[in-house]
Amino acid sequence: MSVRAGREFLAIPGPTTVPDEVLRAMHRPAVDIYSGPLLALTDGLLRDVARVFGTAGRAYIYISNGHGAWEASLTNVLSKGDRVLVLESGRFAIGWGEAARRMGAEVEILKGGMRRAVRPAEVEAHLKADKAKGGKTIKAVLVAQVDTASGVVNDIAAIGQAIRAAGHDALLMVDAVASLGCMPFEMDAWGVDVAMSGSQKGMMTPPGLGFVVANDRAREVHKTAGLRTPYWDWTDREGDQHYQKYAGTPPEHLLFGARQALDMLFEEGLENVYHRHRLLAEAVRRAVGVWSEGQAIGFNIAEASERADSITCVLVNGHDPEALRAYANQKCGVILGHGIGDLSGKAFRIAHMGHVNAPMILGTLGVIEMALGALSIPHAKGGAQAAIDWLSDQVPA
């Protein structure tokens, strides 16, 4: 017996629920790629993508997922043999660094872990030591604002300040895949040189678009980068011809969807979007906090201030998180994220990013509490109610 009939709830950290308005915007015939409205569409998207990143720098749109945007970022500023510092706080900065290594960079990792954020003081100390050694210094620092494997949020402003305090010239490069459109990103104010993201999470569009933004300092470094290739190259994409913006045929229907998604973000207001994410994230945390009193589940990220507003990673001790995920899906129609990397088989993940509202979050929490009971996983009761109480207090009549 199940109660899953009805619309399925997708609570994984990407791809996320695509709004019906975005789907409708994409459901239209193809148009001329050489003239007219599509040219204006591209100009507007490039402008507004930069706006969401909080930069006066240059934006680029790629037909790719986030891994493609990783590569686009790296090829445009690095040469073979350049040294890159990866700031560990989960899985994804490590993956970005591995891409750099395979492309010919020399990669070193500032060890962190799966349960905490990057420590800016450690970044400053590492870069001061690097500068003092002399010789070829670190060219770029790679970090994720939010790591969806661990559920951590890193303080990018403080990391940028740490690089400046070290008096180091390394480029600060940030993965914003799991944060853009969900929480503030102030590229220029924080001293970020290159940032990248994808369309499938907070940007509320199907997978397939990669976004990269670069400031003037990065574009100057780009001029002498030795890893540049025709498809990813910024200089080629800055050409006068429209087809150069995409290195060929534009991904028209994804662009139509992205335009509608951006319009929805701006209509709600970015500050309101970020506040909605903060409220819903805290509702999830209130529920997990109650359930954790049973000692069988708990937060992966130890410090409350380091837990992201777009994803919560929940550890499961002595029980199988895959059984809980299977129950939620097969019995109730809620799809939760699984643990990945070092947390495979040890955790599940609750996404609260993008096109998400109170009924979706409260429904998901209710199903998790239902699964905990059905599977006899020890937990304190009342987690879903704690989430309701939080939102009742924070959302006035």
Pairing of strands 334-338, 9-11: parallel
Which SS3 state, helix, strand or coil, does residue 319 take?
coil
**Domain co-membership, 297 together with 247:** no
Dist CA 115 CA 94 (whole Å): 15
* Position 26 in a domain: no
Share in percent of the chain as helix, strand, coil (round to 5): 45, 15, 40
* Position 25 in a domain: no
pTM: 0.97
CATH number of the domain enclosing 142: 3.40.640.10
Boundary of a domain, candidates 217, 244, 266:
266
pLDDT of 331 > 90? The answer is: yes
Please report, rounded to a whole number, the percentage of residues in the chain having pLDDT higher than 90: 97
Dist CA 227 CA 11 (whole Å): 38
pLDDT at 139: 98
Helices (H), the chain: 20-26, 37-53, 66-75, 92-102, 120-133, 156-165, 187-190, 216-222, 234-237, 252-268, 270-291, 321-332, 358-374, 383-394
CATH number of the domain enclosing 309: 3.90.1150.10
Boundary of a domain, candidates 251, 266, 281:
266
**Domain co-membership, 273 together with 388:** yes
- Kindly report the average pLDDT of the chain as a whole number: 97
Cβ 176 vs Cβ 187: under 8 Å: no
**Domain co-membership, 215 together with 282:** no
Cβ 355 vs Cβ 16: under 8 Å: yes
**Domain co-membership, 182 together with 275:** no
**Domain co-membership, 150 together with 169:** yes
Boundary of a domain, candidates 266, 293, 308:
266
Cβ 153 vs Cβ 183: under 8 Å: yes
* Position 1 in a domain: no
pLDDT of 34 > 90? The answer is: no
pLDDT of 383 > 90? The answer is: yes
pLDDT one-digit tens code per residue, 135-155: 889 999 999 999 999 999 999
- The helix-helix angle for 383-394 and 358-374 (nearest 10°) equals 160
**Domain co-membership, 193 together with 94:** yes
In 3D, which of 106, 115, 121 has the Cα closest to residue 300?
Answer: 115
* Cα angle 260-265-267, degrees, rounded to a multiple of 5: 90
* Position 372 in a domain: yes
**Domain co-membership, 67 together with 152:** yes
Dist CA 207 CA 193 (whole Å): 25
**Domain co-membership, 67 together with 206:** yes
Amino acid at 232: W
pLDDT one-digit tens code per residue, 299-309: 999 999 999 99
Q: What is the DSSP letter of 148?
A: T
Cβ 215 vs Cβ 187: under 8 Å: yes
Dist CA 273 CA 265 (whole Å): 7
Q: How many CB atoms lie under 10 A from the CB of residue 363?
A: 16
In 3D, which of 159, 176, 158, 8 has the Cα closest to residue 85?
Answer: 159
pLDDT of 222 > 90? The answer is: yes
pLDDT of 210 > 90? The answer is: yes
pLDDT one-digit tens code per residue, 271-301: 999 999 999 999 999 999 999 999 999 999 9
Cβ 184 vs Cβ 376: under 8 Å: no
Residue with tokens 């992205």: 258
pLDDT of 267 > 90? The answer is: yes
Residue range of the domain that includes 227: 31-266
Helix (H) or strand (E) holding 113: none
In 3D, which of 313, 252, 308, 248 has the Cα closest to residue 277?
Answer: 308
**Domain co-membership, 381 together with 314:** yes
* Position 46 in a domain: yes
Name the band, by pLDDT with cuts 50, 70 and 90, for residue 365.
Answer: very high
**Structural domains counted in the chain:** 2
pLDDT at 35: 78
Structure tokens at 97: 């660094």
